Amino acid sequence: MRFDVMPVATEKQIIEVEQAANHVWHNYYKEIFSKEQIEYMLEKYQSKEAVRKQMAEGYMYYMLLADEKLAGYMCVIPKNDHVYLSRLYIKAEYRRQGLAKRAVGCLDRIFANPELGFDYIKKIRLNVERENSFAINVYEHLGFRKVKSEDRDIGGGYVCRDYVMERKIREN
């Protein structure tokens, strides 16, 4: 399978990301969150308006392509000494094919490359819902470790109960 990572840059791509988010969230997170919370979080964090706003604030969205088809997407933002992996979502039909490993490997290549100006970035950090055992296992397999638990009020009467996980950037 050919794998490519493409920066999200156009309105059409933003809409594709929004559609992928709807697909992933409604099919995957229904075991973790209520339908109401899923709808709230999609609108607040993954609507095309939210994606546009995040990109204006410095978030970088990338489409994950498998054989030129949208298999998922990820979103990152550089912070002080780390890059925050805000989202890494892969459609159900593409899971268990190594795409998460390839996506994280792409982050390693970007943030370990001194020519791109990210030499202050030393690790990748993310939040994952504590009930999301599948994702936790994937991240641990990729070398991430739990560094703390964190409860975040996201508004609308909802709280995310997360693990914060991180791992060092791997140089190529």
pLDDT in tens, 90-108: 998 999 999 999 999 999 9
Q: What is the distance between the alpha carbons of residues 125 and 81, in angstroms, rounded to a whole number?
A: 10
Residue 127 is encoded by which pair of tokens?
């939040």
**What does pTM read for this prediction?**
0.93
3-168 fold:
Aminopeptidase (3.40.630)
Q: What tens digit of pLDDT does each residue of 115-148 get?
A: 888 888 999 999 999 999 999 999 999 999 999 9
Smallest CA-to-CA distance from 81 within 18, 14, 168, 170 is with 168
Domain ranges in the chain are 3-168
**pLDDT at residue 170 is higher than 90:** no
Q: What is the distance between the alpha carbons of residues 9 and 38, in angstroms, rounded to a whole number?
A: 26
